[in-house]
Amino acid sequence: MQTLAPHEYGHLAELAKCYRDDHLATLKQQPHFNPRLGVDALCFQHLDTRISGASVMAGALITPCELWLVALPEQATLEAPLDSQCVLALPSGRYALVLERLSTGIELYKRKILDDLSDLESLQETARLAQRMMQQLMTQPSAAYASPE
C-alpha cells in the first residue's frame, strides 16, 4: 500500500471536518447516535482507476452513526463533471456509490457499509473496524463469493 502525501492527509482531515459540519445536526437526531465517536476519514489508498479522468483514493468515512466506503476523486484532475453515481471496482467486487457534494465544494462518492455503530466504545475500536473493512474490500474474494453490486 502506497503512503499518502502530507497534503493528502490534510485533504482527508478537511473532508472529515466538512462532512461533520454538514451532517452533525442530522446525525445527532439518529436513535443510534454514538457520542463517543467523531467523524474521521481513515485507511485511504490510491486506486488504479480513474473517475471522470481524475485519480481516485478510496477509504472509510466514520461518523457517530455509520461507516461508509468512500471514493474521493482528485478535484484538480477532473476532466468532466462527476455523474450522480459510479461503480467502483475493487479486488473484492464492484460497488455502486452515490455522489455527495459537501457545502465546501468537496465531491465524494459513498456507500453505506454499516448503519449502526452505537455498540462501539472508542475511536480506536472504530479505526480497527475501518481497517478490517478496507482489508476485506481490497482482497480478492474466494471463488464462492458473489459480487456486492
| pLDDT exceeds cutoff 60 at 145 | no
pLDDT tier at 142, thresholds 50, 70, 90 = low
Looking at the DSSP bridge assignments, the partners of residue 41 are 61
Rounded Cα gap, residues 39 and 61, in angstroms: 7
Q: What is the pLDDT of residues 67-100, one digit of tens each?
A: 999 999 998 888 999 999 999 999 999 999 999 9
* pTM to 2 decimal places: 0.89
Closest among 12, 116, 123, 120 to 70, alpha carbons compared: 12
Which is nearest to 69 in space by CA: 49, 46, 36, 98? Answer: 98
Q: In the numeric block, which cell numbers belong to residue 81?
A: 463533471
Burial of 124 (0-12, 13-18, 19+ CB in 10 A): exposed
How many C-alpha atoms does 61 have within 13 Å on its Cβ side?
A: 23
Q: Which domains does the chain have, with CATH numbers?
A: 6-137 (3.30.1460.40)
pLDDT tens profile 4-38? 899 999 999 999 999 999 999 999 999 999 999 99
Q: Cα-atom radius of gyration of the chain, to the nearest Å? A: 15
According to the model, what pLDDT value does residue 3 have? 81
Looking at residue 87, what is its pLDDT? 95
What is the arithmetic mean of pLDDT over 116-141?
A: 92
Percent of the chain surpassing pLDDT 90: 85
Contact assessment for residue 45 and residue 135, using Cβ atoms and an 8 Å cutoff: no
